[in-house]
Amino acid sequence: MLIIYKYREIIQNFLKLSFLSEKKIISHKFKKKLGYTLNIDQPKTFNEKIQYRKLYERNPLFITCADKYAVREYVTQKIGNHYLIPLIQVIDSVDTINFASLPEQFVVKATHGSGWNMIVKDKSKIDFPAMQYQLGKWLLKNFYPRQLEWHYKNIKPQLVFEEMILDASGNIPTDFKFHVFNKKNETEIYIQVDSDRFGAHTRDYFTTSWEKLKLAVKCPNSNEEPQKPKNLEEMIEVARKLSEDFNYVRVDLYSVDNAIYFGELTFSPEAGFSKFSPAEADRQWGESFILQQ
């Protein structure tokens, strides 16, 4: 069944990319999702510059750092392995999963895509054959044709099993995402805070001084403002170090019991289709994003 699924996907992707160029596909999606015409030759907005990156920037570090397993070594070299969520195992075939040896709680991530995560809070409630089938489907897929994000195209498909980290209430912790723009003589950072991601998901934005920004992207702002992390200064420093090789990257971190954990590095948030409210923020962020020519 998985083999049939794989061949069907290959044929669909081939047809999709044969009749239209990447540029035309992206331009069509861009106008449909954001309501304005993509200017790829003279990009000015944040979303336009993400599309430019997808089409033209070919930094090999993007591949390494988008890989959910390979990035662990990059993080270790930059800031030390004590910021990494403990690793249980990494495999490239579902046939090698030893389900009995896994802890009662764990997280599985596919190395070669975005959003391909499985959170297991109670192993006893898991249908293992169904889990195995889903993970097998991920291993057979190439994430690249979905949104034409170049850096996912050649990542080796693997599954990373990590220990689960939970907050004091036993929930998945708040996600702190640092949008870091490195310009010639300065660094600009906006902090995105995603709360209750698997429930009533809210999203808020702050400056590094924890001043709330009048900005919403995809999710509504929270009714109750997220608390400033006690270790915010350390989180900012971690984000600066992990971003120093890039003109722009989003650094995702967690803070649990005053300990900081690395989540991931993201080079094309929302695949460059982020609908900003107010809309002028799209251009404001674009001004901070200095492209590599």
Measured distance CA(207)–CA(68) in Å, rounded = 27
Domain at 2-10+21-288: CATH code: 3.30.470
Cβ neighbors of 118 (< 8 A, separation 6 or more) are 107, 108, 109, 131, 134, 135
Please check whether residue 181 is in contact with residue 187, taking contact to mean a CB–CB distance below 8 angstroms: yes
Q: Where are the domains of the chain?
A: 2-10+21-288
- Count the neighbouring beta carbons within 10 Å of the beta carbon of residue 101: 8
Q: What is the pLDDT of residues 136-180, one digit of tens each?
A: 999 999 999 999 999 999 999 999 999 999 999 899 999 999 999
CA distance 177 to 251: 6
Encode pLDDT of 33-85 as tens digits.
Answer: 999 999 999 999 999 999 999 999 999 999 999 999 999 999 999 999 999 99
CA atoms within 13 A on the CB side of 188: 12
Q: What is the pLDDT of residues 95-136, one digit of tens each?
A: 999 999 999 999 999 999 999 999 999 999 999 999 999 999
Is 85:162 a contact under the CB 8 Å cutoff?
A: yes
- Using the predicted structure, report yes or no on whether residue 5 has a pLDDT greater than 70: no
